[in-house]
Structure 1
Amino acid sequence: MKGFREFLLRGNVVDLAVAVVIGAAFTNIINAFVKGIINPIIGLFGTKDLASYRSCLKGPCTLAADGSVSSGVFILWGEVLSAVVQFVITAAVVYFVFVLPMLHFMAKRKTAQEEVLEAEEKEVVLLTEIRDALVRRG
């Protein structure tokens, strides 16, 4: 029981839980963006919703008035296309909003750390030269 408690209280478990919750909330935002903005823009070239694109696979395909299938077999390729568009948008937002700025921040931080290390190395060299000069003096 003690080991399990320690496992739960480790920082990475809490971080993972927070990431899952934030990810779920972020997914809702992306879904709304795709349904509210992207699908209508694509709808300018055809239907109002990508998910409504389908092809008849077998039999006489007919739809009921409410849009449900009354006979035949449909391939719902519009739903797959909609999911792909949503994935690409999600990946782009994650990359451009989170990953790219973090890489930029880390590069700046690394440069600052390198400058500090160079200064420390120069200081060591200078102190060594001073020591050697004092030893030669006497």
Structure 2
Amino acid sequence: MLEDFKKFILKGNVVDLSTGVIIGAAFTGIVTAFTKGIVEPVIALAGGGPSPKLTIPIMQKVVEVTEKNAAGQDVTHMVNKLIELDVGIIIGAVTSFLITAAVVFFVIIKPMNKLVELANKSQPEPPPPETPADVQLLTEIRDLLKSRPN
């Protein structure tokens, strides 16, 4: 059991995955800084804040609110509260996700794919394996049979 676990841990996929997680965690800081420093100000121009202020009112609800007055006594009164769906926060989260995905794609994935492509071009293609003699013989027989008139 321990031997199987050792093989699993030492597999390249596990090492690659753990490396990816570590790099991803470190890259989060860059993406967060980019989003906070560049993207959110642009979104704020459109909607007035980091997330556009887009809400859909659902209903008014009367709630009881208790506050302290100037004398420090609890005073209870009724307040109308508007219940609404906040669509802006969803738009902001989706925008942030799409920007993060775009940055990861164009900064990490595309350059890595190009490097892998260049590395594969520099390695010569191995010659195709030689066809066994019996397969060659059968191929010749097939070709002769095809060429015979019916």
Q: Same fold (TM over 0.5)?
A: yes
Matches within 5 A, 1:47-126: 47-50=48-51, 52-59=53-60, 71-113=81-123, 116-117=124-125
Contact kept in structure 2, 1:31 and 1:86, CA below 8 Å: no
Q: Aligned to 1:26, what secondary structure does the other structure show? A: helix
Contact kept in structure 2, 1:54 and 1:76, CA below 8 Å: yes
Higher helix proportion (structure 1 or 2): 1
- Structure 2: segments with no counterpart, 5+ residues: 63-79, 129-150
* Pairwise CA distance, 1:84: 1.1
Q: Which residue of 2 aligns with 1:41?
A: 42
Contact kept in structure 1, 2:8 and 2:14, CA below 8 Å: yes
Larger mean CA deviation between 8-17 and 74-83 belongs to 8-17
Normalised to the residue count of structure 2, the TM-score between the two structures is 0.58
| Alignment RMSD (CA, Å) | 2.9
Normalised to the residue count of structure 1, the TM-score between the two structures is 0.62
Larger mean CA deviation between 76-85 and 19-28 belongs to 19-28
- Structure 1: segments with no counterpart, 5+ residues: 62-69, 122-138
Aligned sequence identity (%):
38
Aligned length: 110
Q: Which amino acid aligns with 1:73?
A: I
Change (3 A) 1:74 1:89: same
**Cα shift readout 1:58-116 (whole Å, capped 9, x = no counterpart):** 2269xxxxxxxx83322121121111111111121112112222222233233333xx3
Higher strand proportion (structure 1 or 2): 2
Structure with greater Cα Rg? 2
